[in-house]
Amino acid sequence: MVGFLLQLITIITLQILLPPTQSRRSTLPPTIQLPVSYYQQPLSHSVSDFGAVGDGVHYDTSAIQSAIDACPSTSPCRVTFPSGGTYLTATIRLKSHVTLHIEEKATLLGGTRIEDYPKESSKWYVVMAENANDVGITGGGVVDGQGLEFVVRKNKKKNVMVSWNQTGACLGDECRPRLVGFLRCKNVDVSNVSLMEPAYWCLHIVQCQNTSIHDVSIYGDFNSPNNDGIDIEDSNNTLITRVTIDTGDDAICPKTYTGPLYNLTVTDCWIRTKSSAIKLGSASWFDFKGLVFDNITIVESHRGLGLQIRDGGNVTGITFSNINISTRYYDQSWWGRAEPIYVTTCPRHSNSKEGSISNLLFINITANSENGVFLSGSKHGLLSNLRFINVNLTYKRWTNYAGGRVDYRPGCQGLVNHNAAGIIMEHIEGLEVENVNMRWSDDRPGSWNNPLDFRPSTVNNISLLNFHSGWFKQ
């Protein structure tokens, strides 16, 4: 539609600008009739008109699904949740051209009973769309997954969440529903909405094309595992902007399970997490290419920027720019040791293929961290052509958690004793450091002993230009 209208405007503009003799020779017909749908506002269905009570006690699933199903199959339709209501629901399914419009002060509340969800655990979502086009969620309201209701035992280090395991429905500690999922969809829009308390992953984008996520806030319990903010899986052409994420596990996590991931742009975001703020992987069987992360603030996270390539996929052409990072230790039960930047390719298992990472650019980065930068390739999975330009690193310990370890998890070597260093390097071919300033606190004498830690046998072609390292006192 947009393309047609732009073409039409261009033709009309030429008609106006051309001399009369040229205008008369135009092939444009004297009158133009656009399809009727171009003049129409999207059809709107209120879930209240289909019987939803919105009291947060009685299930409104049937009413919500009926409002969705009543939408036409070929034109835009908005399903509205009126302000002031709390709409308790089992899994609801979007179809093409349908947008959920959750008004301000309205909440879509996910049920906590296993019978509220499909038999297939892969489709455990409060809201899901599968093989649909032009779908989304907006409106200013809330989608709430009641994640804390799935906690069996609360723990300040890491909550225990095995409530559905006891039903025999699945194994492991990830036996919980995700909040929102778009599976094999095109033209997805998630905007102006709050996503809260997921029991598992919050927003899951799977094998999608052309996804826009903007003006969204995501909140998950800080002590709950696996409540990732946004997981982008095998999806291409994704834009994430003006998003706030405060959660216990990885905040923005691109993954490749069944195909490559390319053209992801993340801008203007604020993140706090007990795990990695941005993490490529650890699921990484296919390639990552053409990713940009710009103008991001990372606050008191367990790890800042992470690339965990464990399964043979290759990474190339990634830019991290204009990013402020603060990282700290929380507990060793969470992956990470307060690294502001963490890049690895060590294989997950002894028989796993080793992927490579190349052409990474870190520019205009400021970090205040309790640990240093970790760059670790592997024997057959080198890190190559890494560039650090205009980077300020300040290292200071302010928690009482034990340091002196390097974290290779998952798989690889696990936790390994190692003295703290400004930048640890292994298996690298080509590293350019330009205008990098590294400052060290001397509050704990002996805790820092080496700005650059590497073995010449595994690290080649290092260029240092205007690299500074020194102690500081506060």
List pLDDT tens digits, range 400-430. Answer: 888 888 999 998 888 999 888 999 999 999 9
Report CA-CA distances (Å) from 190 to 83, 134, 139, 240. Answer: 19, 11, 10, 10
Question: For residues 206 and 186, is the Cβ–Cβ distance under 8 A?
Answer: no
Q: What is the pTM of this model?
A: 0.90
Facing residues of 357 across strands? 315, 383
What is the pLDDT at residue 350? Answer: 84
The H or E element spanning position 377 is none
Question: For residues 232 and 259, is the Cβ–Cβ distance under 8 A?
Answer: no
Give CA–CA dist 180/464, Å, rounded.
46
Strands (E) across 158-235 are located at 178-183, 186-196, 203-206, 209-219, 230-233
Question: For residues 172 and 194, is the Cβ–Cβ distance under 8 A?
Answer: no
| Phi/psi-derived region of residue 340, left when phi > 0, alpha when psi is between -120 and 50, beta in every other case | alpha
How many C-beta neighbours within 10 Å does residue 164 have?
Answer: 22
What is the pLDDT at residue 472? Answer: 82
What is the pLDDT at residue 41? Answer: 73
What is the pLDDT at residue 446? Answer: 60
Calculate Rg over the CA atoms of the chain: 25
Give CA–CA dist 113/116, Å, rounded.
5
What is the pLDDT at residue 445? Answer: 55
For 183-195, b where at least 16 C-beta lie within 10 A, e where not — what string?
bebbbbbbbbbbb
Which stretches of the chain score pLDDT less than 50? 1-39
What is the pLDDT at residue 171? Answer: 81
Which residue type occupies 53? Answer: V
Residues 6+ apart with CB under 8 A from 242: 214, 215, 216, 267, 268, 269
Give CA–CA dist 185/94, Å, rounded.
11
The H or E element spanning position 7 is helix 2-17
Residue 436: helix, strand or coil by DSSP?
A: strand
Give CA–CA dist 470/474, Å, rounded.
13
Report CA-CA distances (Å) from 205 to 274, 309, 438, 440. Answer: 22, 20, 38, 40
Give CA–CA dist 325/72, Å, rounded.
47
Residues 6+ apart with CB under 8 A from 177: 91, 110, 117, 124, 125, 126, 145, 199, 200
For 249-273, b where at least 16 C-beta lie within 10 A, e where not — what string?
bbbbbbbbeeebbbebebbebbbbb
